[in-house]
């Protein structure tokens, strides 16, 4: 595989393992240590994970408050399922355009604006005087939410090299899904002690603080920055030498000089290529890597403004991605459906109060997420050093084990075994998600990461919206057919048991689909790198 020459990205080699380059457009050159696994630290990953945490917590505070909401508004099982699923269904309106925004706009601005809107809508939910207005506030919140995931994932892909992507996405996914139990606890405990309206008011405050913090802490990187750093580090480890000198002797990388050129260019050439000039008026000849490359011309004049349908076709032409995102959609159907309904499950099956059930599921779910994020990131990155495609196998295996644990969860009597199995289910799910995120980033060219994660989020949103609806629809069906529609204690127990059991199907099918993605991973990952090596990386436009 061709290597990345420092000059090709406007970088200066200042030592064997240090380069100086413009990593963040408009902020001047920055010295980067190629020995560091995460050259820019982990603060950005934590902040991006915080975005997901607040998002998920805001969603599940509703699940934690269900008992209080049902008492106040008098809604039945099916209406409850619709209330939980409607925001995700509304999100479908914006989730694909969100990918285009992430590819063509300043992503930190997108995150700050959307999180601020979350805060206002959370306050609006708390103040809603009727069920209709409360439902409307939740729908509007659903349309705001999908804008954050593609932007966050795209930023992570550009900030963290491939060697640590499992770790980076483990942080994002673990914090995101830590929001699930956090929201349950906030919704259950606060709604029981101070009323459900207070729970939604409480959720609006951290969203407002986060909107301001993200804007000033997370920096907008150059598109494809982490891919360039990954290849520079690989070249340095292999004893990188720059272009041959006139007498044929290789020049030391440490003596390379900075090549001037457009700051948004990202050019990759073979290490043996002749010196290049980044003349924006020069023609692009893919047959000669030493010729000047015009990024905009190579991409096509309308690449940034490519139609939404065109972006979808380009991304879905990647076979591995098709299988991964379909499998991930089903994973989210099971994961979201379980977390949205498990509190009600424990209330009915184990005769717990709403407060006790949320205090149980919150910490237990968090324990599973923490264990899964640690184990998943360590195993994923370790396997990826020798075989990047191994992450796909890890994800599929973890999801299959999650399905098995859910079978045991439903059929095993007693509270303690169910708690242990709930820990395992969450650990396996987050392990799968961390490695799916890293694998998705590996097979997506940097110029299409926003669109790729946006399309993935579109299907994930469909999965998330069907999980809770499936559980409560099955529950209502059991109550109607076996108990003549009478919501007796026994009817509610059997209904929720069959509802939870229905989630075994999406987990199982999802595992099969992700296993199928392994066959084409190596080819598609190589194609993504080849895209970088031909200089087809998008510029990093600012919001306007």
Task: Answer whether 154's CB lies under 8 Å from 106's CB.
Answer: no
pLDDT for 354: 75
242: helix, strand or coil: strand
The token pair that represents 202 in the structure block: 């409480």
pLDDT for 2: 47
pLDDT for 76: 76
pLDDT for 286: 37
pLDDT for 276: 33
- The CATH number assigned to the domain holding 377 equals 1.20.1250.20
pLDDT for 515: 94
Task: Answer whether 311's CB lies under 8 Å from 321's CB.
Answer: no
The token pair that represents 387 in the structure block: 């075989």
273 assigned to some structural domain = no
Q: Nearest-CA neighbor of 101 among 54, 135, 152, 137?
A: 152
216 assigned to some structural domain = yes
102 assigned to some structural domain = yes
**Three-state SS letters, 416-435:** HHHHHHHHHHHHHHHHHHHH
Distance of CA 198 to the CA centre of its chain: 29
pLDDT tens, per residue, the chain with 544 residues: 445 556 555 667 767 778 888 888 877 888 888 888 788 888 888 999 888 888 878 777 887 787 788 788 888 777 777 787 777 666 667 766 766 777 778 888 888 888 888 888 889 888 888 888 888 888 888 776 677 877 888 888 888 887 788 788 878 877 887 787 788 788 888 888 888 899 888 888 888 888 888 888 888 888 888 888 887 887 777 654 444 444 444 433 333 333 333 333 332 333 333 333 333 333 433 333 333 333 333 334 344 445 556 667 777 788 898 899 899 889 989 988 898 888 889 999 988 887 788 788 878 888 888 888 888 878 888 887 788 888 899 999 999 999 999 999 999 988 999 999 999 999 999 899 888 888 888 888 877 777 777 777 777 777 877 888 899 899 999 999 999 888 899 999 999 999 999 999 999 999 999 999 998 998 888 888 776 555 444 444 443 3
Question: Within 10 A of 523 (CB to CB), how many other CB atoms are there?
Answer: 13
List CB contacts of 27: < 8 A, sequence separation 6 or more.
Answer: 219
pLDDT for 256: 36
527 assigned to some structural domain = yes
Cα angle for residues 391, 395, 398 (degrees, 5° grid): 135
Task: Answer whether 443's CB lies under 8 Å from 304's CB.
Answer: no
Q: For the chain, how many structural domains are there in total?
A: 1
259 assigned to some structural domain = no
Q: Could you tell me the end-to-end alpha-carbon distance of the chain, in angstroms, rounded to an integer?
A: 38
336 assigned to some structural domain = yes
294 assigned to some structural domain = no
pLDDT for 497: 94
The token pair that represents 498 in the structure block: 């069959």
285: helix, strand or coil: coil
78 assigned to some structural domain = yes
Single pTM value for the model: 0.62
pLDDT for 534: 54
pLDDT for 533: 58
Name the β-bridge partners of 20: 12, 31
| Alpha-carbon span 149 to 169, nearest angstrom | 12
The token pair that represents 70 in the structure block: 């049902």
Task: Answer whether 533's CB lies under 8 Å from 235's CB.
Answer: no
pLDDT for 364: 87
| Alpha-carbon span 10 to 28, nearest angstrom | 12
Which secondary structure element, helix H or strand E, spans residue 30, and what is its range? strand 30-33
Task: Answer whether 369's CB lies under 8 Å from 174's CB.
Answer: yes
| Range of the structural domain that residue 494 is part of | 43-222+308-532
């Amino acid at each position: 595989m061709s290597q990345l020459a420092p000059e090709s990205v406007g970088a200066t080699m200042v030592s064997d393992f240090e380069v100086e380059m413009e990593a963040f457009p408009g902020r001047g050159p920055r010295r980067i240590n190629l020995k560091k696994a995460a050259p820019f630290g982990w603060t950005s990953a934590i902040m991006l994970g915080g975005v997901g945490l607040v998002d998920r917590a805001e969603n599940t505070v509703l699940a934690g408050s269900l008992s209080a909401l049902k008492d106040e508004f008098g809604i039945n099982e099916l209406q409850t399922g619709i209330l939980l699923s409607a925001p995700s269904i509304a999100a479908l309106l914006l989730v694909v355009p969100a990918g285009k925004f992430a590819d063509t706009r300043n992503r930190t601005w997108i995150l700050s604006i959307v999180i601020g809107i979350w805060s206002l809508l959370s306050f609006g939910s708390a103040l809603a005087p009727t069920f209709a207005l409360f439902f409307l506030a939740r729908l509007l919140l659903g349309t705001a939410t999908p804008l954050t995931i593609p932007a966050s994932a795209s930023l992570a892909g550009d900030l963290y090299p491939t060697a640590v992507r499992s770790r980076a996405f483990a942080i994002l996914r673990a914090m995101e899904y830590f929001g699930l139990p956090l929201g349950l606890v906030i919704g259950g405990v606060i709604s029981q002690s101070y009323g459900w309206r207070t729970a939604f008011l409480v959720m609006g405050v951290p969203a407002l603080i986060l909107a301001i913090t993200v804007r000033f802490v997370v920096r907008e990187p150059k598109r494809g920055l982490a891919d360039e750093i990954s290849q520079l580090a690989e070249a340095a480890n292999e004893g990188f030498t720059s272009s041959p000198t006139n007498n044929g002797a290789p020049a030391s990388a440490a003596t390379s000089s900075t090549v001037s050129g457009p700051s948004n260019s990202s050019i990759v050439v073979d290490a043996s290529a002749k010196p290049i000039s980044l003349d924006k008026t020069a023609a692009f000849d893919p047959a000669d890597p030493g010729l000047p490359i015009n990024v905009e011309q190579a991409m096509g004049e309308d690449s940034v403004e490519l139609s939404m349908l065109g972006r979808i076709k380009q991304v879905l032409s990647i076979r591995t991605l098709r299988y991964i995102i379909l499998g991930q959609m089903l994973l989210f159907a099971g994961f979201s459906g379980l977390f949205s309904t498990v509190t009600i499950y424990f209330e009915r099956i184990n005769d717990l109060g709403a407060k006790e059930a949320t205090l149980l599921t919150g910490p237990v779910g968090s324990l599973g997420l923490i264990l899964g994020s640690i184990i998943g990131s360590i195993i994923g990155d370790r396997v990826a050093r020798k075989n990047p495609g191994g992450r796909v196998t890890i994800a599929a295996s973890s999801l299959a084990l999650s399905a098995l644990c859910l079978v045991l969860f439903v059929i095993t009597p007693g509270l303690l075994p169910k708690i242990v199995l709930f820990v395992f289910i969450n650990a396996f799910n987050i392990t799968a998600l961390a490695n799916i995120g890293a694998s998705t980033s590996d097979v997506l060219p940097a110029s299409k990461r926003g669109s790729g994660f946006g399309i993935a989020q579109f299907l994930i949103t469909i999965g998330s919206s069907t999980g809770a609806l499936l559980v409560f629809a099955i529950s209502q069906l059991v109550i109607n057919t076996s108990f003549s529609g009478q919501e007796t204690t026994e009817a509610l127990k059997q209904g929720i048991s069959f509802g939870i059991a229905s989630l075994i199907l999406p987990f199982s099918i999802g595992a099969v689909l992700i296993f199928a993605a392994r066959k084409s991973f190596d080819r598609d990952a190589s194609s993504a790198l080849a895209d970088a090596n031909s200089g087809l990386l998008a510029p990093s436009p600012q919001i306007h």
